[in-house]
Amino acid sequence: MTSLQLLFTVVVLLAATIPTIHGEDLRNNNNNYDNGNYALTSSTHKSLLIAAGCFWCAEQAYEQYAPGVIEVVSGYAGSDGIESPTYRNHPGHYEVILIEYDPNSTSYELLLQYAWRNLDPFDKYGQFCDRGFSYQSALFYANEEEKLIAEQVRSKVLDLHPDWDNESVVVPLLERPFFWRAEGYHQDYYIKNPWNYEYYKERCGRTKRLKEVWGEEQYNCYHDLDLSCFNKTAVNEDGVSIEAVVNVKNAPEESGKVRGAPVWGIIVAVVFAVGVLCLLVVGFMTPSCKKKSSIEEGKDESVVEKEAADLP
């Protein structure tokens, strides 16, 4: 086996045994998940479907900061997607979140306003550091009434930003497809794995890009547990202004610190570095050994020639 083949084998083995930053965490996967549509916790509640890039981040944004939200579930949805998608196999599907909400405490319109402030409307190839169709943004409507509201919200966003080119805003408004719930280890990821989550989110540049697009003031307004920009109120679907309720899971606020690599990431880096160093040492020593062997062979030949010359 050559040095390059050995290095390739080491990398493959590491990739197979160590979880990725944004992917399946094999250590926590118990395979106990329920594929299929999500059942609302109350018949009086409604739901909304959006695609805003990584569903971990979208889930956190709504569960912590959007008023009237009861539950957010990560999943997959796409009109051309396959049946029973999984994280490792979901062609034709967006990464989406299903937002269960109380229409007495918020509204479809208000939650769409939050959706816009949690995506990059100019990126048609993905969102932030994540590339590919499944990470593209999309806003979904379930009926003609919601379609009209979605169009109105889009128009209001563009009115607030007259310097934006309408053609450059690439967020589609689509008819709502069937929702497939994602695997259990993806749900509430920001709560269960805060270190990994914050490291991924910071390295992906999500917050930085949102502030660039929407401005720091507007970003802070839509990511504020006190809803200070809205006087701690929200307008429900009856048009009534009520006291807003956020963060129903009472999750701790983000630390705001720049996280270092998770422990497993450091281990991978160290093992990889040691492997490369060993291969370099082996590669350096091999030519030297061959050279030494050639010299010794040359000496042996000289001795034989000398002995032959001394014969009578």
The two structure tokens encoding residue 219 = 């970003």
φ, ψ at 33 (rounded to 5°): -135, 160
- What is the C-alpha to C-alpha distance for residues 186 and 294, in angstroms, rounded to an integer? 60
Helices (H) and strands (E) in the chain, counts: 9, 10
- Sign of the alpha-carbon dihedral angle for 39, 41, 45, 49: negative
Strands (E), the chain: 46-52, 69-77, 94-101, 126-127, 130-131, 137-141, 173-175, 180-181, 233-235, 241-243
Phi and psi at residue 102, to the nearest 5°: -95, 115
Distance in angstroms (rounded) separating the CA atoms of residues 91 and 93: 5
* Antiparallel, parallel or unpaired: β 233-235 and 94-101: unpaired
Q: Can 54 be counted among the known catalytic residues? A: yes
Where do we find the tokens 């996967």? 29
Largest CA distance in the chain: 121
Tokens encoding 192: 């269960």
Q: Out of 54, 129, 204, 289, which one is annotated catalytic?
A: 54
Task: Give the residue from 257, 237, 33, 21 showing the smallest Cα distance to 149.
Answer: 237
- What's the CA gap between 160 and 182, in Å, rounded? 35
CA angle, corner 208, sides to 73 and 192, nearest 5?
35
Catalytic residues: 54
